[in-house]
Amino acid sequence: MARYPFLPQGATFLRVILEKNGITVEDLIEAHWLEEVRSRGRVRLLESVMHKEGVDSATTIDLSSDLGKMTESLSFFYAMLVVCASFNERLLARWVEGEASRADQLFGMDKENFDILARSYLSDIKEVRERAGGEVTYWVPISDFIELCPRISGNYWRLINRPLKEGWVCMNSGAGESSRKRTARLIKERIREDLTNSCVERMNKMDDSFAQLFIDPVERVTKLLSEQVKEEMPMNASIRADWPPCFESAVGELSQGVNVNHTGRLFLASMSLAMGLSQEQTCGFFANAPDYNADTTSYQINQIFEGKYTPHGCAALKTSARCPVSPGDDRLCDQEWLTHPLKYLKAKQRRRFQETGGTVITDKTE
Ligand code: SF4
């Protein structure tokens, strides 16, 4: 439980740890003897903000001692409280992605506890061993697979490519990963959902006076997050100011490790092409995607650039839940003639040119 304090059973475990050691939330924030907990919590938070691969799966804490167990589990709790007290959805998405990626790595290596870990997130699981002493292959219920697989890219995750038998889906080894690692990847999606929901619930209950207690760590980590985001997005601010909200939100979500659906990804790549961005710049937008793979991304972007795909219009983006605006949010998007994000871009460029007398940044469609 100290290794996996985010498990659904973790809430009770954390309560017991706090009670047994007589620790209050105020102690967690300022008691001198809990500095190591805060320091480890800060490391977990910073790793999720800075590392594309998420939080480092290795810990330097000795989990065989009671003190080590307390430090590791409370560091997770402390980091979660800081994230909730920030009321910052981007930070939340980034931290959840870091913790979920770490869980994915740890679960994939934990042969001994894998069954119980998987059962904490899936409605059922079964192991099949083809021959004595051979590797185990895991099977998961089709209902779990169908719910979770659309959030993961790659042919392996399409139901048509998975062996099926009597309502069970075979998670055989693939892409250089064992069956356990593949199943852990599926479970990662549930962990992400579970952690996000519990943090949102906590945020809704948190009042301002409680959130104020975390003001220093919140300021530090949100500053770091905004610096990191700027660094990861090398676009010139004047170009960026012209982006339509649908493009901005697709880029922003991916950079925060949020999963963007197929239409959103295709739109991002084809819009980049229409805007005259390079393949390299376009690939860079995907570098923080939860299922990022450099080779697959560059192959797919190349296909889109070579095929000269045109970006979807507003109607298709709205149908696929990739238009983030509602009436009244953006005056340009409210215009009847605004039927395509490229029209948005051109209108913005034209307006800026008239206002500043500067140079219009043209796109390939002009
Ligand atoms: S209305 Fe069109 S241009 Fe505006 S955000 Fe939605 S899809 Fe993009």
Domain boundaries, the chain: 10-107+193-227, 108-186, 234-356
Which residues, listed in sequence order, are joined to residue 40 by a DSSP beta bridge? none
pLDDT at 232: 56
Q: What is the mean pLDDT of residues 331-342?
A: 89
For residue 311, give the 3-state DSSP assignment: coil
138 contacts 127 by C-beta, under 8 angstroms = yes
Q: Count Cβ atoms below 10 Å from residue 339 Cβ, excluding itself.
A: 12
Percentage of the chain exceeding pLDDT 90: 34
255 contacts 249 by C-beta, under 8 angstroms = no
In the predicted structure, residue 364 carries a pLDDT above the cut 60: no
pTM for the full predicted model: 0.63
98 pocket-lining for ligand 1 (C-beta < 6 Å): no
pLDDT at 363: 38
pLDDT, tens only, 9-23: 888 989 998 999 899
Q: How many angstroms does the Cα of residue 282 sit away from the middle of ligand 1?
A: 20
Q: What is the mean pLDDT of residues 68-97?
A: 88
313 pocket-lining for ligand 1 (C-beta < 6 Å): no
pLDDT at 231: 59
Mean pLDDT comparison of 39-53, 160-174, 273-287, 351-365, highest-scoring range: 160-174
Q: Which of 243, 271, 317 is the best mutation target for the ligand 1 pocket, counting ligand atoms within 8 Å of the beta carbon and taking the most?
A: 317
pLDDT, tens only, 163-194: 999 999 999 987 778 999 999 999 999 999 99
Determine the atom of ligand 1 nearest the C-alpha atom of 322: 7
Q: Count Cβ atoms below 10 Å from residue 240 Cβ, excluding itself.
A: 12
245 pocket-lining for ligand 1 (C-beta < 6 Å): yes
Distance of CA 298 to the CA centre of its chain: 20
pLDDT at 355: 64
pLDDT, tens only, 121-140: 999 999 998 777 778 899 99
| Residues belonging to the chain | 366
108 pocket-lining for ligand 1 (C-beta < 6 Å): no
Q: How many angstroms does the Cα of residue 320 sit away from the middle of ligand 1?
A: 12
In the predicted structure, residue 55 carries a pLDDT above the cut 60: no
